[in-house]
C-alpha cells in the first residue's frame, strides 16, 4: 500500500457520503466490481495514471465505461480522485473502503494460519468462539504454512493470537538463552 493515511481519508469520505445517501451496499459492490475490471485491464490503469492524459479525457473515459453502471456518487468520487491526482491510489482506497464497510456491517476478518488444512468442523468452532469473543460476525481467511509446525495463529485486525508450536519454541529458546547456568 502506497500511503495508508491517504487511502483511509478518501475511503472514510466515500463511506460517509454513501451512508448519508443510503447507497452504501451498492457502492461497495460497484467499487469492488470496478477494481476487478481495472485489475484485468492494464491499458485502462495506465491511461488513468498517466499525467500526460488531460483530466477531461480521463473523466470522459470513466463516463463512457462506468456511466449508468455504477452509482453517481461513486463516479463523482472517481472524478474527485482524478482532480486531486489521486487516481493511482484507487486500489488502496478500495481495500480500505471494503474494510470500513465490513466493519460498518458488523463483520471482522480473522486470518487463521495452521500447519495443515483446517477441517470444516474446527473452522466453524473457531469462528463461533471468535464471534462470541469479539461480538462481531467473523469472516475466516484460512491459510496453511508448514513452518508453524502445529497450533494456530489468528490475526484479528491489529491483534494477533499466536498459539503455534514455532512461536512457543522460539520463546523457549529465548528464555533458555537468557538463563544463568552455574
Mean pLDDT of the chain: 91
Helix (H) / strand (E) containing 160: strand 159-162
What's the confidence (pLDDT) of residue 158?
83
What's the confidence (pLDDT) of residue 48?
84
Second CATH level (architecture) for the domain 4-103: Orthogonal Bundle (1.10)
**Pairing mode of beta strands 107-114, 152-156:** antiparallel
Write the CA distances from 169 to 24, 47, 57, 151, integer angstroms: 46, 51, 59, 12
d(CA 172, CA 182): 19
pLDDT digits (tens, 9 = 90+) for 91-109: 999 999 999 999 999 999 9
What's the confidence (pLDDT) of residue 116?
92
The conformation of residue 3, written as its DSSP 8-state character, comes to -
Tell me: pLDDT of 74 over 80.
yes
pLDDT digits (tens, 9 = 90+) for 39-65: 878 888 888 888 899 999 999 999 998
d(CA 148, CA 91): 31
9-18, 132-141, 156-165: least confident range: 156-165
Domain segments of the chain as ranges: 4-103, 106-178
Amino acid at each position: 500500500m502506497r500511503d495508508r493515511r491517504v487511502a483511509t481519508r478518501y475511503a472514510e469520505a466515500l463511506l460517509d457520503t454513501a451512508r448519508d445517501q443510503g447507497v452504501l451496499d451498492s457502492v461497495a459492490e460497484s467499487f469492488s466490481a470496478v477494481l476487478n475490471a481495472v485489475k484485468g485491464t492494464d491499458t485502462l490503469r495506465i491511461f488513468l495514471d498517466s499525467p500526460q492524459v488531460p483530466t477531461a479525457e480521463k473523466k470522459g473515459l470513466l463516463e463512457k465505461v462506468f456511466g449508468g453502471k455504477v452509482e453517481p456518487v461513486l463516479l463523482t468520487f472517481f472524478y474527485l480522485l482524478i482532480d486531486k491526482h489521486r487516481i493511482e491510489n484507487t486500489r488502496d482506497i478500495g481495500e480500505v473502503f471494503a474494510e470500513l464497510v465490513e466493519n460498518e456491517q458488523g463483520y471482522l476478518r480473522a486470518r487463521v494460519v495452521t500447519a495443515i488444512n483446517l477441517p470444516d468442523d474446527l473452522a466453524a468452532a473457531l469462528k463461533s468462539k471468535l464471534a462470541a469473543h469479539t461480538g462481531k460476525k467473523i469472516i475466516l481467511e484460512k491459510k496453511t504454512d508448514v513452518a508453524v509446525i502445529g497450533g494456530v495463529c489468528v490475526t484479528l485486525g491489529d491483534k494477533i493470537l499466536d498459539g503455534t508450536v514455532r512461536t512457543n519454541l522460539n520463546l523457549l529458546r529465548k528464555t533458555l538463552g537468557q538463563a544463568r547456568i552455574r
